[in-house]
Structure 1
């Protein structure tokens, strides 16, 4: 009985090992639009020596090698290279049409190693939109939205920061309240995908109200008072000079009249 159980367990273990050996292996690559895809799969010893190989993208043939040499098919011609010694395939100028699963066949046998490829664009510079439009420091709360073109950029994440603080992951929208954010002057958002990230310009917090600058106010009032005092002094000096000038002119006229009276009359 014990031997029978051991034989069953051994057989079951062997089946599991065989299934694991043939289990599908998936590699994932994210490629920048216009970039290069490079795939170098493992070559099982039991497949050697090789007498043919081909790569498929979904249902389409990419390339093929046999005793007659390498053939690259139309869609990939001029931008693909196959090394038949290592089975490495390289494709340049990748586009979103190249997204999908790539499969290798060796000696007429499909291999468990596959590559899932996603071609994405760099993210664009985002901007921050505030709602509602009438939101101001008199409001109790507002909503900030990080917006940007997400066409063909793949999976996107959004993060936020306040003034010069650290980036925090909060999603595309951020709720702000007077209770928690009234002292923040500026908000920034960042949009990222698997190959790039861009930061928005800072946007002024609509709930922020600049504190009253008492020192600046006092200095401003003093400056106005000093300017007024200087103006008064200048005006007063001008009036004194004008009065002195008129007084001197009157004295000169009186002296001239007196001299004329003292002259002998003909």
Structure 2
């Protein structure tokens, strides 16, 4: 069997609806014939440089084969394109193949503050990076506060209503898989407090001083 000669399978992930590109291992001579198989079924072959490639099934128009490099391409990927890919070059089965997984691109996420009643008087709340990621493979989550740097973290994290948190105005989250990444719009921090204006502080001090002086003068009279 074709697959029994395989020594190594490399894992590859491609986006649903995207394009798959697979290459043979490094070649030591020019190609005189090439055959690609998908799950041991004939997929594409070209037996010499003067012939045209054949694709299977024969009405398949999404496949293309580069005879010079041995590269296989499939566009508009579907879930049926997942599986094992093996290639035979010059009648020799290569000892490296591919195990292909077709995954969905990640959605644009949204930061949701929980509970919904969370406000400036609540001692602590959580922020959740939400989005439907079913079928999207392994997901990683990143968080950013205001104009800060992205930091990898959990999907959900706790926020405490303390002095540091009260200086943060907005939250952002980002989801990532091997084929895509998307960033959320900004979500306001329920614990944020506007910094007091120094001019306002001075004005309040001056007004207070004037009132005290007026009271003292009134008492003296």
TM-score normalised by L of structure 2: 0.72
Structure 1 position 137, deviation (Å): 1.7
Q: C-alpha deviations, 1:221-245, integer Å up to 9, x for none? A: x9xxxxxxxxxxxxxxxxxxxxxxx
Dislocated runs of 4+, deviation >6 Å: none
1:145 aligned partner: 128
Unaligned runs of 5+ in 2: 208-221
1:111 aligned partner: 94
**Preserved contact between residue 31 and residue 70 of structure 2 (Cα < 8 Å):** no
Residue 182 of structure 1: SS of its match in structure 2?
A: helix
Greater shift, 198-207 or 27-36, is seen at 27-36
Matches within 5 A, 1:55-134: 55-66=36-47, 70-74=53-57, 77-84=60-67, 86-106=69-89, 110-134=93-117
Does 2:168 correspond to 1:187?
no
Structure 1 position 64, deviation (Å): 3.2
> How many Å separate the matches in 1 of 2:193 and 2:53?
71
For these two proteins, the number of residue pairs brought into alignment is 197
> How many Å separate the matches in 2 of 1:74 and 1:30?
23
> How many Å separate the matches in 1 of 2:67 and 2:99?
21
Q: CA 1:168–1:43 in structure 2 vs 1: closer, same or farther (change >3 Å)?
A: closer
Residue 188 of structure 1: SS of its match in structure 2?
A: strand
**Preserved contact between residue 32 and residue 121 of structure 1 (Cα < 8 Å):** yes
Does 2:178 correspond to 1:209?
no
**Preserved contact between residue 39 and residue 89 of structure 1 (Cα < 8 Å):** yes
Structure 1 position 143, deviation (Å): 0.8
Unaligned runs of 5+ in 1: 1-21, 223-266
Does 2:32 correspond to 1:32?
no
Backbone CA RMSD of aligned residues: 3.3
Structure 1 position 108, deviation (Å): 6.0
Among candidates 35, 38, 42, match of residue 54 of structure 1: 35
2:142 aligned partner: 159
Greater shift, 175-184 or 161-170, is seen at 175-184
Q: CA 1:123–1:76 in structure 2 vs 1: closer, same or farther (change >3 Å)?
A: farther
Q: C-alpha deviations, 1:58-116, integer Å up to 9, x for none? A: 24321234478642112872121234454332222222321222111356654311123
Q: CA 1:193–1:106 in structure 2 vs 1: closer, same or farther (change >3 Å)?
A: same
Structure 1 position 30, deviation (Å): 3.3
Q: C-alpha deviations, 1:122-149, integer Å up to 9, x for none? A: 3222111111222222122111100112
> How many Å separate the matches in 2 of 1:34 and 1:84?
25
TM-score normalised by L of structure 1: 0.61
Larger RCO, structure (CA 8 Å, separation 6 or more):
2
**Preserved contact between residue 43 and residue 86 of structure 1 (Cα < 8 Å):** no
